[in-house]
Amino acid sequence: QISDNWPGYSLDLFTYPQHYYGDLEYVLIPHGIIVDRTERLAKDIMQDIGDNDIVVLCVLKGGYKFCADLVEHFKNLSRNSERFISMKVDFVRLKSYHV
């Protein structure tokens, strides 16, 4: 849990593209933590579904990277386990505003 007054990590701890210099003040959540949490989420989902197949519905466009990473973790977990998980991936595009 990240508290409201969390100051973030110092930029001195990270390398980042030069075109961001001057625009960033701190790193709130490092990439490694996001990767670890995504892998844990995949493990939890696979444990919860049991022997059922997985249907992944990816929300375009903002959710694509997360969805691709999650699907990759599903594949790795399935490849390294005793059971095969059948998976189907589909996409949906949504709007959060009215025109």
CB neighbours of residue 56 within 10 Å? 15
What is the chain's length?
Answer: 99
**pLDDT for residue 83:** 75
What local confidence, expressed as pLDDT, does residue 99 receive? 67
pLDDT at 1: 80
CATH class of 30-93: alpha beta
- pLDDT at residue 98 tops 80: no
User: How far is C-alpha 92 from the geometric centre of its chain's CA atoms?
Assistant: 17
* Beta carbons of 87 and 53 less than 8 angstroms apart: yes
Report domain extents, the chain: 30-93
Tens-digit pLDDT profile for residues 18-73? 999 999 999 999 889 999 999 999 999 988 988 888 899 999 888 889 999 999 99
